[in-house]
Chains A and B, each alone.
Chain A
Amino acid sequence: MPVTLSEGQTKKLDANLIPVYVPPVPATLWGYMTDAETGVAISGAIVSITGPGGTYSDPSDYSGRYEITGIVPGTYSGTVIAAGYEEKAF
């Protein structure tokens, strides 16, 4: 509602503001999976990370590339599993 100010008047007007939630811009984790000995790309290796946003996972494609998008920023720990390879934790 508009406020009317008369000549010479001092008027107090307080306001209670409701904070607007601005979600954090999500982060992305990506990279490549390779065989430690041969350097050959590994497809089907699954990266899983767990942290403040929950658990995210993605398998690597034929080129060994994986990409996890839409991650809530924060600190994450995770694992990498692939058939025929030792599991890796980070």
Chain B
Amino acid sequence: MPIVLKEAEKERLDFSLLSEIILPQTYTLGIYYFYLEGYEGSSDIYAWHDNWDEWCRWMVGYKANLFADYCGGEMPIEFVVKHEVPIEGYDFSSKSVMIGVLKNLEGYHDTDFSVIVTEDNLHSGLRAFPGIHSIIIRGLKEELDVRGLEGEGYNISFIFEHEIAHLFKLDHCSNLPCVMAQPVLSYADWVNQGKELYFCDRHKTQLLENWAERNYY
């Protein structure tokens, strides 16, 4: 029933809300480790290629569990595959090149999302690609450092969550420390306080709705 507000009136209206029954959702992940011969081990930060499968599973799995717990459900990793990228002509700064590579990979269409893990240090590599359900994470080893280990990679600790949230159709945010804020460098203090995964009210509502309704790119 509509409410009538009179001039200068201060009207109180309380609401009791009923919990919505939300079925847990499962979103499957396929991980592609993009291996570039010659780039491996170029510095301490990127030298974790020897057990790339284990690191990919552990690091992406850790982030995926955080995200899934927040939203209510699971994000199981269906597979991790190594994709050797020809060093000649390699250019991930070109979105079209990346998309072309992705779409031809075996199993690409078998999971809800694809996560591309790279070892190189291209600064253009942090992207979500609406329409092809993929994100790329640069130097995941840097994320490892965030979690109380040594290193200076704390500034990208929310890359996975930020990019996955884009695939749930969330836009950028000016409300720090929302995960969707730019630049993600702003999370340093937040992370150092031991706090993780915060979405502002607007993005939290949008994320949980889209997660529950399987509304994603």
Interface residues of A (CB under 8 A from B): 24-37, 42-47, 49, 51, 59, 71, 73-78, 80-86, 88, 90
With a cutoff of 8 Å between Cβ atoms, the chain A residues found around residue B205 in the complex are 44, 46, 81-83
From B1, B8, B17, B22, name the one whose CB has the most chain A CB atoms within 10 angstroms. B17
Contact of A36 (CB < 8 Å), options: B1, B5, B13, B18 = B18
Q: Check if A37 sits within 8 Å of B3, measured CB to CB.
A: no
With a cutoff of 8 Å between Cβ atoms, the chain A residues found around residue B8 in the complex are 25-27
The CA of A37 and the CA of B18, in the complex, are separated in Å by: 7
Q: Check if B15 sits within 8 Å of A73, measured CB to CB.
A: no
SS class, residues of chain A in contact with chain B = strand
- B6: interface (CB < 8 Å): yes
List 22 A-B pairs, Cβ < 8 Å. Answer: A26-B8, A27-B6, A28-B10, A30-B11, A30-B12, A30-B13, A31-B13, A34-B16, A35-B16, A36-B16, A59-B202, A73-B6, A73-B9, A75-B2, A77-B3, A80-B17, A83-B208, A86-B19, A86-B20, A88-B17, A90-B1, A90-B2
SS class, residues of chain B in contact with chain A = mixed
Closest residue of chain A to B11, judged by CB?
A: A29
Contact of A85 (CB < 8 Å), options: B7, B9, B19 = B19
Q: Check if A84 sits within 8 Å of B5, measured CB to CB.
A: no
Shortest Cβ distance from residue A80 to the other chain B in the assembled complex, whole angstroms: 5
A30-B10 contact in complex given A75-B4, A76-B2, A78-B3, C-beta closer than 8 Å: yes
With a cutoff of 8 Å between Cβ atoms, the chain B residues found around residue A34 in the complex are 14-17
The CA of A10 and the CA of B203, in the complex, are separated in Å by: 75
Task: Please count how many residues in chain B sit with their CB below 8 Å of the partner chain's CB atoms.
Answer: 27
Q: Check if B7 sits within 8 Å of A43, measured CB to CB.
A: no
With a cutoff of 8 Å between Cβ atoms, the chain A residues found around residue B20 in the complex are 84-86
A83-B209 contact in complex given A33-B15, A45-B15, A75-B2, C-beta closer than 8 Å: yes
Closest residue of chain A to B13, judged by CB?
A: A31
With a cutoff of 8 Å between Cβ atoms, the chain A residues found around residue B7 in the complex are 24-27, 73
With a cutoff of 8 Å between Cβ atoms, the chain A residues found around residue B11 in the complex are 27-30
- B127: interface (CB < 8 Å): no
Q: Check if B204 sits within 8 Å of A45, measured CB to CB.
A: no
With a cutoff of 8 Å between Cβ atoms, the chain B residues found around residue A90 in the complex are 1-3, 13
Q: Check if B15 sits within 8 Å of A80, measured CB to CB.
A: yes
- In B189-217, which residues have CB < 8 Å from any A CB? 201-202, 204-205, 208-209
Shortest Cβ distance from residue B202 to the other chain A in the assembled complex, whole angstroms: 8
Shortest Cβ distance from residue A23 to the other chain B in the assembled complex, whole angstroms: 10
With a cutoff of 8 Å between Cβ atoms, the chain A residues found around residue B202 in the complex are 46, 59
With a cutoff of 8 Å between Cβ atoms, the chain A residues found around residue B2 in the complex are 51, 75-77, 90
